[in-house]
Amino acid sequence: MPPPVTYSSYLKLDELLSLQQPRPGVLEHDETLFVIIHQVYELWFKEVLHELDYLQTLLRANDTPLASQTLKRILTILKTLVAQIDVLETITPLNFLAFRDRLESGSGFQSHQFREIEFVLGGKRRSAVDRYPEGSAHRKRVETRFGEPTLWDAFLHYLAANGYPVPKALLGRDVTQPHEPSPDVQRILVDVYRKNPTVAQIAERLVDLDEGFMEWRYRHVKMVQRTIGTKPGTGGSAGAEYLLTTLNQPAFPDLWAIRAEL
């Protein structure tokens, strides 16, 4: 008979707590925090992807109550992701420099899960796929996401399921291409906001989602700037200079374009 399930065995705590292993050598005090924060980020990224996949299924099934509930959960997780930067910023520039060289080529820029989240939200670039070694498990995951419909595609199908005349060309678009603003969709959205509060609520939660990710990017940039200034990032990335180029790029431009029409 197998042993009874315990708190520790259910959560695999022994394995989990053994994973905080900085590089061999003299362990700097703040390095443990640095490792744990980034491992926790990756766990939250896993959950965000799990919820985004579920959200797309709910939108395509026209399940407004569950879609709204799932969006609320994602937005709450986003607040946690932003709040973790406050903890990370307790590592001073000098303390970070004490162990920075131990990261060698490692960089958050290489996070395949964050790249997957970007792709689900529509920020697709073939060059982002090509950064991962061909044949690697991470490359396969990112390539799969690259070829899948985005959250915006699911929302367009949701609008169509609610009787709105979404152009067929958009419902069957090439999902590997970035979202392009659509005057037709914008006219539909203005009508939604004026006459259909139930569907408009889902649209507003998508605006919250978009704003939440832009807030996380902004806080991330400022954290990098206050920690390493204009120095290049680890792994050969351009650091804050690159991160600045990712700001103010909404995932759902149509939802922002209609603000002046409401």
pLDDT digits (tens, 9 = 90+) for 11-52: 999 999 999 887 766 678 889 999 999 999 999 999 999 999
- Residue 48: how many CB atoms within 10 A of its CB? 21
Residues in the chain: 262
pLDDT at 202 over 50: yes
E strand intervals along the chain: none
Structure tokens at 44: 């939250």
Contacts (Cβ under 8 Å, ≥6 apart) of 3: 9
Structure tokens at 229: 């200034």
| 95, 110, 111, 238 from 235: Cα distances, Å | 19, 9, 12, 9
Mean pLDDT of the region 81-101: 88
Instruction: Report pLDDT for 238.
Output: 46
Helix axes 151-161, 29-60, angle to 10 degrees: 30
Contacts (Cβ under 8 Å, ≥6 apart) of 167: 182, 184, 185
pLDDT at 182 over 90: yes
3-state secondary structure of 182: coil
pLDDT at 84 over 50: yes
Rounded percentage of the chain residues whose pLDDT exceeds 70:
89
pLDDT in tens, 104-141: 665 666 889 999 999 999 999 898 898 899 999 999 99
| 170, 220, 224 from 236: Cα distances, Å | 38, 18, 15
Q: Under a CB-based contact definition with an 8 Å cutoff, are residues 217 and 84 in contact?
A: no
